[in-house]
Structure 1
Amino acid sequence: MKNLVFALSIVFVLSACSSDSSDNENQVITLNPTNLEIYFPPVNSNEWETISIEDLGWNSAGEQPLYDFLAERETDAFLVLKNGRIVIERYFGDFQQNDNHAWNSAGKTLTAMIAGIAQEEGFLSLNDSSAAYLGTAWSSLSTEQEAQITVFNHLTMTTGLDYDVDDIFCTDPECLLYKNEPGQFWFYHNGPYTLLDNIITNAVGQDFEDYFSAKIGSRIGMQGAWVSIGFNNVYFSNARSMARFGILNLNNGVWDGQTILGDATFLTDMKNTSQNMNQAYGYLYWLNGKDSYRVPGSEIEFSGKLIPNAPNDLYAGLGKNDQKLYIVPSEELVIVRMGGDAGETLLGPSSFDNELWGLLNDLMD
């Protein structure tokens, strides 16, 4: 019965944040590529400019193999945007444009940007001890050990907390044990990341979800909700909302003339290597084009690029069951994939990334 009530609660929340297609007819404006300055879809509207594969000079013969691959790999929604304009928008099975889907760990990118906004507004500093916002005894460490862990460590997966625990998602003090000095080892440990929600809430004096909505979500036209599932705080939205956030990233924190995040140093650091233990990790963003990378659940460093088939400057939000938000500045692309597990049940990067980019290269050739 408890599980049923929880499930119904999620349905209610997600229904409340969905657009009603009967009240707001979807509109598209087809555009020829004469002027491809970045486009921002209007807030509180389904209007969205499109541009065709043919007008871009892409290889239309690559479309069907791409769609077949996506359908075979449990995809629900797939979007490709060029300069903010929709090139491809496909939904599979019963999934529709206004349906909501979990971002899973791709939503870490939302937390990274809202942390940057909180710092820009003077509520916190990445160099602050996280104990300044979490209080003492938030872990099983001594007060002195807690004081050494900074907000920066939470943002970069370098807290030094023990990841060899039964539940890496657990945020209870008994799950947060000392293993290494902070900043000395990188491991994809979800519990310390989740505590960023409390850090931001206590720093700004406003509920995390409300602050996110006021500073990002409502300003760029995202619809969605943060839903507590176990220890995790998971963002749900439709695919177009994920695409809107991608456009905000592509335009360096500015939305249609409105500065959402203006701290150029934070933006640069967020999307570049944040520490010397995992070159492919920024502030909760995954980075391509580096000489080596580490992945969730492993202590091994792998040689080569994270996604060999993808452009070197790609950065991404990557979530469990292959939720994907790719941003490629050199190609002015935003690509969204939502759906079920594509075959490996991993928390972030997977072989699906490279296979997908092989097909995208065929399409864009």
Structure 2
Amino acid sequence: MKKLKRFLLLLLVTIIITVVYNYPKLNIIAGYSAKSTASSVFVANRTLAFTNTTDTNFSPIYLASDEVNTDKKLTTSSVLGLLTRKAFYRDGLGSVLALRDDDVNKKYLAPKRALADNTTPFPYGNAAQNDSVFNNIDYSNLNKTLDILFDSVNQTRAAVVVYKNKIIAERYANGFNQNSKLLGWSMTKSIVSSLFGVLEHQNKINVFDKAPFAEWENDFRNEITIHNLLQMNSGLEWDEDYNSLSDVSKMLFLERDMSKSQLHKPLVGKPNQTWLYSSGTTNLLSGLLRQQFKTHQEYLDFWYADLIDKIGMNSMILETDLAGNYVGSSYAWATARDWSKLGLLYLHNGIWNGEELFSKEWVKYATTPTPTSNGLYGAQIWLNAGKKYPNTPQNMYSFNGYQGQNVYVLPDQDLVVVRMGLTKNADVDLLLNGIVESIKK
């Protein structure tokens, strides 16, 4: 009997220690599940059942059980009954995690949106494109190339190939179609960069100026420029680890104002000499964009009026944090077709349907390799300058996001390729080379 009691006591102590040690992680698990469920249901218009089997079914997120209140547009996620998180939807702003109960009932400013142009053909509007068959395209080979994306390993949800402004191939997984909103994750970072290009074209900002943060005025961080932040080459400390309680996970699931998550971090390197991928940096840039406007309403409107709605990405929803800042690191939703429009804007050197939104020089700047990035990164844009993909054109660049969200831009081939997936396993060289080879010169 004594042995049994000692065993049960030891088991109880072990369970308590395990729970205490992992309790902070439970916050992230419940937070991820609640936020993802709220966005999937209320932004992307999916069902809870569909979300559970396609978006929150991986370890350890599947440990959370989710409930949806459609009347209040609220989701609740609980991990083994030990910890519960709530997320809620706001019109025009998407979904966000609550940190206090009263967050749900607060009033939030929302951006003013332009009416969608549903009469002009793609890409300048949302109507069906004026179809044309290119004699120089091997459509059979093109479609075989797309087959590599839609298998059980790659788990692609959407793929769109645009050549000379025309969709020449398009495919969707079961449950998705051309109207499905898809989360771009870190592709949102390229939108943030583009907005700085727009402001610079409007002569409202110089990216080579010092970053205007009062918190940095009296130490070595006062040498950091906006340019350094855009290139993620500031030297600021940051831990971008999604598998632990890191800087990025605490920012996304525990912070009210994500634009300040990296603001108080110390230097661990030197500006312009220490490249480090950081979602905190991009949200810092979102906060810097907020400084350019007198009112919060102007800040909210600018992202859409001067870029997103301007190029007809009318399906897009940019989600904000509780403080009202756009989460530029991670949270933009749009259809695959609309994601392709951002690529087309760059392909056309910032000109959209005859109007210049940013300059050709900005495109060159944004796709110039960051020092110490080994040719991988520009200004919130990924590059192939270092020939990471040896069989892909060296001047290809891309907007990339978690789990295989990609917009590839191939300037010499007049191509934009969109892949929205759930895995990073797709062979980029095989995919892009196959598409390029399908187009005869």
Q: Give the TM-score, by structure 1 length.
A: 0.77
Contact 2:187/2:330 (8 A) holds in 1 = no
- The equivalent position to 1:80 in structure 2, one of 141, 144, 161, is 161
- The equivalent position to 1:325 in structure 2, one of 407, 429, 432, is 407
Post-superposition Cα deviations, 1:112-168, rounded to whole Å, max 9, x if no partner, equal 1101111222332212222x2x4326xxxx732231111111100111012358624
The Cα of 1:12 is off from its aligned counterpart by: 3.0
The Cα of 1:337 is off from its aligned counterpart by: 0.6
1:227 partner letter:
E
Post-superposition Cα deviations, 1:270-317, rounded to whole Å, max 9, x if no partner, equal 1222435432321111122x3x3xxxxxxxxxxxx1212212221111
The Cα of 1:186 is off from its aligned counterpart by: 1.0
The aligned residue for residue 347 of structure 1 is none
* CA distance in structure 1 between the partners assigned to 2:417 and 2:145 by the alignment: 17
The aligned residue for residue 312 of structure 1 is 394
The Cα of 1:83 is off from its aligned counterpart by: 0.8
Post-superposition Cα deviations, 1:56-104, rounded to whole Å, max 9, x if no partner, equal 3325145235325433311111001111101001111111111111111
Contact 1:50/1:87 (8 A) holds in 2 = no
* Residue 222 (str. 1) matches residue 313 (str. 2): yes
* CA distance in structure 2 between the partners assigned to 1:337 and 1:357 by the alignment: 11
- The equivalent position to 2:180 in structure 1, one of 99, 102, 105, is 99
* CA distance in structure 2 between the partners assigned to 1:77 and 1:319 by the alignment: 14
The aligned residue for residue 270 of structure 1 is 366
* Residue 47 (str. 1) matches residue 128 (str. 2): yes
- The equivalent position to 1:179 in structure 2, one of 260, 268, 273, is 268
Post-superposition Cα deviations, 1:235-256, rounded to whole Å, max 9, x if no partner, equal 1101111111111111111111
The aligned residue for residue 259 of structure 1 is 356
Post-superposition Cα deviations, 1:316-362, rounded to whole Å, max 9, x if no partner, equal 1111111110111111001111121144xxxxxxx632232243345
Q: Is 355-364 or 142-151 further displaced after alignment?
A: 355-364
SS at match of 1:117: helix
Q: 1:211 to 1:62 in 2, by over 3 A?
A: closer
The aligned residue for residue 377 of structure 2 is 281
Q: Give the TM-score, by structure 2 length.
A: 0.65
* CA distance in structure 1 between the partners assigned to 2:119 and 2:148 by the alignment: 27
1:135 partner letter:
A
* Residue 135 (str. 1) matches residue 232 (str. 2): no
Query: Which segments of 5 or more consecutive residues in structure 1 lack a partner in the other structure?
Result: 19-23, 30-39, 293-304, 344-350
Contact 1:118/1:204 (8 A) holds in 2 = no
Query: Which segments of 5 or more consecutive residues in structure 2 lack a partner in the other structure?
Result: 1-29, 46-90, 95-115, 252-259
Contact 1:78/1:335 (8 A) holds in 2 = yes
Contact 2:157/2:420 (8 A) holds in 1 = yes
The aligned residue for residue 61 of structure 2 is none
2:130 partner letter:
E
Q: Figure out how many residues of one structure are paired with residues of the other and give that number.
A: 320
* CA distance in structure 2 between the partners assigned to 1:193 and 1:174 by the alignment: 11
The aligned residue for residue 34 of structure 1 is none
Contact 2:148/2:431 (8 A) holds in 1 = no
SS at match of 2:151: helix
The aligned residue for residue 245 of structure 1 is 342
The Cα of 1:204 is off from its aligned counterpart by: 3.2
* CA distance in structure 2 between the partners assigned to 1:353 and 1:286 by the alignment: 13
2:170 partner letter:
E
The Cα of 1:202 is off from its aligned counterpart by: 0.9
* Residue 236 (str. 1) matches residue 333 (str. 2): yes
* Residue 90 (str. 1) matches residue 171 (str. 2): yes
The aligned residue for residue 12 of structure 1 is 42
The aligned residue for residue 57 of structure 1 is 137
